[in-house]
Chains A and B, each alone.
Chain A
Amino acid sequence: DAKTTQPNSMESNEEEPVHLPCNHSTISGTDYIHWYRQLPSQGPEYVIHGLTSNVNNRMASLAIAEDRKSSTLILHRATLRDAAVYYCILRPPIIQGAQKLVFGQGTRLTINP
């Protein structure tokens, strides 16, 4: 499994944008970049995913470098409820059904009021 590298922790203030980086220099040409987050004492939840182009959804934006060796999850306006551990995960294309996710250590995001 291709490896991802994330900072152990980051801190930001409420209502400010947050940029969470992820390095994945060994990514293959067909790997998707997925982001999940885990709130305290809960199971992870899907945030966003992408392949080559930048992606936006109601939760966040994903900016993918042109060489795909890094990506950045962007929370446009952080709230206290965004405090969580954010995981960047590489995933091969799925043919059918589900596929296992391999979690790294993730980034623990703290939001200050």
Chain B
Amino acid sequence: GAVVSQHPSRVICKSGTSVKIECRSLDFQATTMFWYRQFPKQSLMLMATSNEGSKATYEQGVEKDKFLINHASLTLSTLTVTSAHPEDSSFYICSAGEADRPSYEQYFGPGTRLTVT
């Protein structure tokens, strides 16, 4: 199946700093990518839908100025957590579907574990 990568896999940052997480589709083009957040022992929560060449669509309750999403190409979407705080510590996961056909299967990245100290 198709592969989605994330970088970094793990990051520790200090409170107040910003962190950028990359999501890449390695062998296919993705018009749309999704960003999820997962706290320990909980399910995945959709944060936003990232559309190539346009603004992201955020789910209710997700601060768009805090979680900046850029989808500059068909293979790369980035999530920047601005002015991170300890409560932003979580497992961030991206997913993507293929651009050129109806995609019944969504491909997930391995996740990025963010720890804010």
Name the interface residues of A43-89: CB closer than 8 Å to any CB of B: 43-46, 49, 85, 87
Q: Which A residues are CB-close (under 8 A) to B99?
A: 97
Q: Is the Cβ of B46 less than 8 Å from the Cβ of A98?
A: no
Identify the closest chain B residue to A101 (Cβ): B106
* B60 interface residue (CB < 8 Å to A): no
Quick check: A99 and B110 within 8 Å, CB to CB?
no
A105 near B111 with CB under 8 A, answer no
Main SS class of interface, A: loop
CB pair B31 A97 closer than 8 Å: yes
Complex interface: chain B residues within 8 A of A97 (CB)? 31-32, 97-99, 102-103
Cα(A45)–Cα(B105), bound, Å: 9
Q: B13 → chain A, closest Cβ, in Å?
A: 19
Min C-beta distance of B54 to chain A, whole Å: 13
Q: Report the separation of the CA atoms of residues A101 and B46 in the bound assembly, to the nearest whole angstrom.
A: 8
Q: In the complex the two chains form, is B1's CB within 8 Å of A98's CB?
A: no
A2 within 8 Å of B (CB atoms): no
Report how many A-B pairs have Cβ atoms within 8 Å: 71
What are the interface flags for A6-47 relative to B under an 8 Å C-beta threshold, 1 for contact and 0 otherwise? Answer: 000000000000000000000000001010001001111110
| Contact across chains for A98 and B103 when beta carbons are under 8 A apart | yes
Alpha-carbon distance A96/B110, docked complex (angstroms): 25
A105, B38: Cα distance in complex, Å: 11
Contact A94 B104 (CB under 8 A): yes
Known interface pairs A41-B111, A45-B108. Does A94 touch B103 (Cβ–Cβ under 8 Å)?
yes
Give bound CA distance, A43 to B105, whole Å. Answer: 14
Instruction: Tell which of B46, B96, B105, B107 has the most Cβ of chain A within 10 Å.
Output: B105
**Residue B67, interface by CB 8 Å:** no
Distance, CA A97 to CA B36, complexed state (A): 18
Contacts of B109 in A (CB 8 A): 43
Q: Which residues of A contact B33 (CB under 8 A)?
A: 98
Contact of B49 among A94, A96, A100 (CB under 8 A): A100
Chain B residue numbers with a CB within 8 Å of A43 are 4, 6, 93-95, 108-111
Interface residues of A (CB under 8 A from B): 32, 34, 38, 41-46, 49, 85, 87, 94-106
The 3 closest A-B pairs by CB, nearest first: A98-B97, A43-B108, A103-B44
